[in-house]
Amino acid sequence: MTGGVISVIITVIMKLVVRELAVPSGPIQLHPEVADAVRTGRAVVALESTILAHGLPRGDNRTIADRIEGRVRAAGAVPATIAVLDGVVRAG
């Protein structure tokens, strides 16, 4: 799959989530920037939180995550790192 197709799939999924849930509250909390991007039809790229939590040394993990988010933004999309914090699924 190309990046464009993946971006469209993620956008469709996020639109369904926004329609089904009271945003930003509910089982999945969307960051306002992510919710706005979905509502306005902009591309949203889901990113794994494991880059922050596993596998990279502390400090480097944040730097690399910031670089990845920067590349997503440079390509015209909104990054949405997905994580479970305090029992709540959060995107963005």
Question: 17-75: per-residue pLDDT in tens?
Answer: 555 544 455 578 899 999 999 888 899 998 888 777 777 788 888 888 899 899 999 99
Q: What is the pTM of this model?
A: 0.68
Q: Judging by DSSP bridges, how do beta strands 88-91 and 28-30 pair with one another? A: parallel
Which pair of tokens denotes residue 2? 């190309």
**Kind and range of the H or E element at 66?**
helix 60-74
